[in-house]
């Protein structure tokens, strides 16, 4: 006889959890970028005079000529929708009745990916001007989510 039978009293599986955590610091330019969002509610970029290119989010070095960037520009809080998508599935895979709208919003020569809010899905279009809606200052922690969402500019 060979050993083929499982012991019914034996644990069927060994369960555990790998303690994997990480702490990401934003770097020199990222630190100033998020610090300004947190403390002042402004979006900053860096400008390369040699390439005439404005990086948003702010970068410490120019990707094109590799020069160090120290010319900081406030790009305001209004940008235009370059592209967008509707998400009908939430993070845990459950279906959503009302879609979440995620868009790429142009600032300078770069831009931010963020949610759109206070808008119906059928009103979204490419080229729409949207404005950042910040959380109250006391609730900001220095994250991109300190911007609650972007909503259409009210005229």
Q: Can you give the binding site for other proteins, defined by CB under 8 A?
A: 1-7, 9-26, 28, 30-31, 34-35, 38, 141-143
**Smaller CB separation from other proteins, 113 or 126:** 113
Rounded to an integer, what distance in angstroms lies between the CA atom of residue 3 and that of residue 5? 6
| Residue 26 Cβ vs other proteins, minimum distance, rounded to whole Å | 6
**Smaller CB separation from other proteins, 70 or 125:** 70
| Residue 132 Cβ vs other proteins, minimum distance, rounded to whole Å | 18
Rounded to an integer, what distance in angstroms lies between the CA atom of residue 133 and that of residue 149? 6
| Residue 19 Cβ vs other proteins, minimum distance, rounded to whole Å | 7
**Smaller CB separation from other proteins, 3 or 155:** 3
- Inter-residue contact 64 to 48 (CB < 8 Å): yes
**Smaller CB separation from other proteins, 38 or 115:** 38
Question: Cis bond leading into 21, ω under 30°?
Answer: no
Would strands 95-107 and 110-116 be described as parallel, antiparallel, or unpaired?
antiparallel
CA distance readout (Å), 125 to 114, 117, 153, 154: 15, 13, 13, 16
| Residue 53 Cβ vs other proteins, minimum distance, rounded to whole Å | 25
């Amino acid at each position: 006889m060979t050993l083929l039978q499982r012991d019914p009293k034996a644990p069927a599986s060994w369960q555990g959890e790998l303690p994997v955590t990480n702490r990401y610091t934003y770097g020199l330019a990222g630190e100033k970028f998020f610090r300004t969002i947190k403390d002042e509610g402004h979006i900053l970029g860096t400008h390369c005079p040699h390439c005439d290119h404005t990086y948003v989010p702010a970068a410490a070095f120019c990707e094109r000529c590799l020069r160090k960037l120290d010319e900081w520009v406030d790009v305001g809080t209004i940008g235009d929708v370059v592209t967008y998508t509707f998400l009908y599935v939430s993070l845990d895979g459950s279906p959503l009745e009302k879609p979440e709208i995620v868009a790429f919003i142009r600032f300078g020569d770069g831009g931010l990916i963020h949610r759109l809010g206070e808008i119906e899905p059928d009103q979204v279009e490419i080229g729409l001007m949207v404005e950042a809606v910040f959380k109250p200052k006391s609730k900001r922690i220095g994250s991109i989510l300190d911007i609650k969402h972007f909503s259409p500019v009210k005229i």
